[in-house]
Structure 1
Amino acid sequence: MTSIRTGEQGAGPEVGSASWVGKNGKLTAVPTGRRTRRRLPHLLVGVLLVVVCVGGALWWSSNAQDRVPVLAVARPLSVGHVLEPADVHEVEISAADAVATVPTEQASAVLGRRMATSLGPGSLLTPSSVGPATIPAAGYAVVAVALKPGQFPLELAPGSPVLVVLATSPPSATQLAGDDSTWPATVTGVAKAETDQNTVISLQLPGTTAPALARVPAGQVSLVLLAGGDR
């Protein structure tokens, strides 16, 4: 068997391959090497992945550094309550949020002082949360309603956001409330009546709708407890 190299273009196998004469007298091309694959696209994809990962890490690190620890309410607090360490806990918020808060390191400035308003769990403590009572707030009024068991949730507490629902709508009430039978309000106090099964609940709501609620006959109001921030 004889080995013959072919170097002329177009006359035989490609350069880099060997030609052998077989028993049948025909030339057989046998590759002697592999063409180098182009790896540039794969390299670009790898570089792009590295850039994305590094950018994501930098973004996460930047956001983490921009968060600050502040005080939030840990349990229902009513106006006049003396603030204790167990009443608050630490949460982190974005430093960019334009919200008046009490940083954790300034807890001593508010602990031991009386609450100026009623707050529910999860609410952020603010400098104005303590001090002289601010209920009702400007533009608001407080209305007391006597409710029987089943007309309000047992979880109701000062600071809870609620929706006042009228079982019936007297003409005078609907006119003053804009023909609406539901009003958002905030619980400011809960007291069990000593003479009957009623529970007296104080509600803070806009001063324009407070007179309408005060005119609703007893027994025609129910309260729906809302999640914090749904007011």
Structure 2
Amino acid sequence: MPFVALGGLLVIVCVLAYAYGAAQLGDRVQVLAVARPVTAGQPITAADLKQVSAAHDPGVRLVPASQAVKVVGRTAVVPLVAGTLLTPELLGDAAFPPGGQVTASLALKPGQYPQGLAAGARVSVYVSTTARDGGQSAPAASSAAAPARMSAVVLRVDLAGDGEGSTVVTLLLAASDAPQLAAAPSGGVVLMQTSPERD
């Protein structure tokens, strides 16, 4: 009798486990993911996409697999690695950079950017009106004691640099921030990597 009771209990457990698993699998949707690396600004082709099954989460806006035709031809706003689940925020218009944004390349010395910085990273860009050598830049219309802060996405990191010991980092940032960044004195820009934002 104990073995019969134990067998019955195992059957019940297996049935419940199967029901739970079926319910979980039933709450999944077919969405689009990146099949191979895509650089920022590169038009997305059908070969760059693949369909995957993902858990349905109302808080995450994934791109349904049925919209693949609408995605082809659009550009990647940031560098995309294989396996990335696509969201509307990662897709730009056919033109690059997207409207209201610009690209900028900076020659930075060690200490002005974090080690291991790579394409796709989100960074805070701190722009000072005082150069590192102690020289003052021309005062800006809205100068302040604290460095100005702006947000950007790293598009490229060229370790070969400019041939003078600097690493060239290319950023995607708001067009409204470009004039202030361009007016920064030598050594007056520092990058700090930030955590990915969830929209």
Residue 80 (str. 1) matches residue 34 (str. 2): no
Partner in structure 2 of residue 166 of structure 1 = 127
Shift of 1:130: 8.2
Task: Pick closer, same or farther for the CA change 1:159–1:133 going to 2, 3 Å.
Answer: farther
Task: Name the counterpart of 1:150.
Answer: 111
Q: Do the aligned partners of 2:31 and 2:64 also contact (CA within 8 Å) in 1?
A: yes
Relative to the length of structure 1, the TM-score reads 0.53
Relative to structure 1, the CA distance from residue 130 to residue 139 in structure 2 (aligned partners, 3 Å threshold; closer, same or farther) is: closer
Q: Contact 1:70 / 1:93 at 8 angstroms: preserved in 2?
A: no
3-state SS, counterpart of residue 212 of structure 1: helix
Q: Secondary structure at the match of 1:78?
A: coil
Equivalent residue number for residue 151 of structure 2: 184
User: Displacement of 1:120 after TM fit?
Assistant: 4.8
1:185 shift after superposition: 0.7
Larger RCO (CA within 8 A; separation ≥ 6): 2
Task: Work out which of the residue numbers 92, 103, 119 in structure 1 matches 2:54.
Answer: 92
TM-score by length of 2: 0.60
Deviation of the 1:225 alpha carbon: 1.5
CA contact (8 A) 1:164 1:221 kept: yes
Render the CA deviation track for 1:87-146: whole Å, top value 9, x for unaligned. 98956242646735153x9889979x89543235575325884884421x1112222211
Matched position secondary structure for 1:201: strand
Q: Deviations over 1:45-87 (max 9, x none)?
A: xxxxxxxxx8xx9888655422224344586743338879899
Secondary structure of the 2:140 match is helix
Write out aligned runs for 1:25-40 (5 A): none
Aligned AA for 1:228?
Answer: P
Pair member with larger Rg: 1
CA offset digits 1:146-204 (Å, max 9, x no partner): 1112322233222221111235566417x289x76221111122333252211221212
Contact 1:120 1:160 in 2 (8 A): no
User: What stretches of structure 2 of length at least 5 have no aligned partner?
Assistant: 1-15, 131-136
Q: What residue is the counterpart of 2:77 in the other structure?
A: 117
Take 1:150 and 1:76, find their aligned partners in 2: how far apart are those partners? 29
Whether the 8 Å CA contact 1:115–1:130 is kept in 2: the answer is yes
The answer for unaligned runs of 5 or more in structure 1 is 1-53
Return the alpha-carbon distance in structure 2 between the equivalents of residues 77 and 71 of structure 1.
17
State the partner residue of 1:140: 101
Aligned partners of 1:94 and 1:176: how far apart in 2? 47
Q: Distance in 2 between matches of 1:168 and 1:62?
A: 58
Q: How many angstroms apart in 2 are the aligned matches of 1:164 and 1:69?
A: 37
C-alpha distance in 1 between matches for 2:46 and 2:167: 27
CA contact (8 A) 1:158 1:187 kept: yes
- C-alpha distance in 1 between matches for 2:64 and 2:54: 11
**CA separation of 1:97 and 1:200: change in aligned 2, threshold 3 A:** same
Partners in 1 of 2:104 and 2:24 — Cα distance?
44
Check whether the contact 1:117–1:133 (CA below 8 A) recurs between aligned residues. Answer: no
Return the letter of the residue paired with 1:70: V
Partner of 2:161: 193
SS in 2 for 1:203: strand
1:5-59 deviation line (CA, Å, top 9, x unaligned): xxxxxxxxxxxxxxxxxxxxxxxxxxxxxxxxxxxxxxxxxxxxxxxxx8xx988
